[in-house]
Amino acid sequence: ARKKLQKLKKTPAITKDGTEITLLANIELPDDCPAALEAGANGVGLFRSEFLFMGRNNKIPSEEEQFEQYKKAVTAMKGRPVTIRTLDIGADKPLDQSEQTALNPALGLRAIRYCLAEPQIFLTQLRAILRASAFGKVRILIPMLAHAFEIDQSLAMIAQAKAELREQGVKFDDEVDVGAMIEIPAAALALPMFVKRMDFLSIGTNDLIQYTLAIDRVDYEVAHLYNPLHPAVLQLISMTIAAGHKAGIDVAVCGEMAGDVKLTRLLLGMGLREFSMHPAQLLSVKQEILNSDLARILPQTRKIMRSMEPNVIADAVEQLQLM
Ligand code: PEP
Ligand code: MG
């Protein structure tokens, strides 16, 4: 079966009815790029940059160090887009294990909140990412946005980083796309705020599920309540895809749901055209896409989206896989 999958490496991901799907890889470090290419990825949909910062006894990597790593990923991907997520530190991704003092770290000073509170760390990272954009196609992705002022401040910081580089005569791509992770329910419910200001969206289902269902994603005692098929979660995902496409911007899913073949057809039916996942899942998802017919999937997906009954949804998702 593995050999059969491997044959699909160069096959474009197109549904039976001719709809083209973009398959991207999630990476933690530039060294993951060969595996992404080996799996036939169209690019990197999520470079979790915090892995460059973790396990270093709180020593923040310098601009030069970061630039080298981002550049390494960009050149390794040979012209394919590399989506670099700005520092998503805190909660389940602590900079330093001993530093966890907040009572509710998942609701605390993490990700973009941390970056806006530490503008020098943020600016250093943005400069390093922008410098790497001179070597290929880079996209900047901001995690955990909920407020309009956070979007505006992030964009202002990117403009400042660009101005500094320009002043120093350092090359970068002035047209670099900036996108938002949609992973807080408030963001999914206030999409006009995002589509107006952003070039693309990427749905982080791992956190979106955590915050929608109020379940700590790392607490095993509530792990049985962590249900991607909860109707509230499905509504938020579907709304985000529809609002992004209506505004003419790309929408990806980069949470674990994107790599779950049992959910591929449901996401296709919701209109998703960009999936980003661990490289190991990529070819299985592609195989599912190649065997999918949107004309058959759509009516079934509509039925799922109209239902608020968990049993009806679970049964219908199962049937979807048999179509
Ligand atoms: C997510 O939240 O779904 C996501 C992709 O980001 P992370 O798992 O790194 O929080
Ligand atoms: Mg997340």
What are the C-alpha distances in Å from 168 to residues 11, 68, 131, 148? 44, 18, 12, 31
Residue 78: count other Cβ atoms within 10 Å of its Cβ: 10
- CA 250 – ligand 1 centroid, Å: 18
Question: Side chain identity at 179, as an amino acid letter?
Answer: G
Q: Which atom of ligand 1 is nearest to the CA of 48?
A: 9
The whole-angstrom separation of Cα 107 and Cα 58 is 21
The predicted pLDDT at position 93 comes to 85
Q: How close is the Cα of 298 to the center of ligand 2, in Å?
A: 28
Radius of gyration of the chain (CA): 19
From 52, 54, 110, 181, give the residue whose CB has the most ligand 1 atoms within 8 Å, as the site to mutate: 181
Mutate to test the pocket of ligand 1, among 83, 183, 218, 260 (most ligand atoms within 8 A of CB): 183
The span from the CA of 250 to the CA of 241, in Å, is: 8
Q: Which atom of ligand 1 is least distant from the CA of 50? A: 9
CA of 164 to the centre of ligand 1 (A): 30
Q: For a substitution probing ligand 1, which of 207, 208, 237, 281 has the most ligand atoms within 8 Å of its CB?
A: 207
pLDDT of residue 98: 61
Pocket of ligand 1 (CB under 6 A): 46, 48, 88, 183, 204-207, 254-255
- Ligand of minimum distance to the alpha carbon of 254: 1
Quote the tokens at residue 32.
């993951």
Atom of ligand 1 nearest to the CA of 204: 3
Mapping DSSP to helix (H, G, I), strand (E, B) and coil, where does residue 251 land? Answer: strand
Inter-residue contact 300 to 323 (CB < 8 Å): yes
Distance 207 CA to ligand 2 centre (A): 5
Ligand 1 nearest atom to the CA of residue 183, by list position: 2
Distances (CA, A) of 136 to 13, 81, 128, 161, 173: 23, 7, 14, 18, 9
Q: Tell me, in angstroms, the distance from the centre of ligand 1 to residue 223's CA.
A: 16
Which residues of the chain fall short of a pLDDT of 50? none
Query: What amino acid occupies position 227?
Result: N
| DSSP label at residue 56 | S
Nearest CA, atom 6, ligand 1: 204
167: CA distance to ligand 1 center in Å?
35
Residue whose CA is at the smallest distance from ligand 1 atom 8: 206
Q: Which residue has the tokens 């998942």?
A: 106
CA-based nearest residue to 250, from 42, 35, 18, 12: 42
Beta bridge partners of 274: 22, 252
Structure tokens at 51: 């892995």
State how beta strands 200-203 and 44-48 pair.
unpaired
Burial class of residue 222, CB neighbours in 10 A (0-12, 13-18, 19+):
middle
What is the spatial distance between Cα 130 and Cα 167, in angstroms, rounded to a whole number?
A: 14
pLDDT tens digits, 162-184: 999 999 999 999 999 999 999 99
CA of residue 207 to ligand 1 center, whole Å: 6
* Token digits of residue 300: 């079934």
Contacts of 162 (CB under 8 A, 6+ apart): 130, 172, 174
Distance CA 108, CA 244 (A): 28
Residue whose Cα lies nearest atom 9 of ligand 1: it is 48
Euclidean distance between CA atoms 166 and 232, whole angstroms? 45
| Cβ neighbours around 186 below 10 Å, total | 12
The pTM (predicted TM-score) of the whole model is 0.97
Q: What is the ipTM of this complex?
A: 0.99
How many Å apart are CA 210 and CA 285, to the nearest integer?
Answer: 24
Q: What does the DSSP assignment read for 95-160?
A: SSGGG---SSGGGSS-HHHHHHHSHHHHHHHHHHHHHHGGGS-EEEEE-S--SHHHHHHHHHHHHH
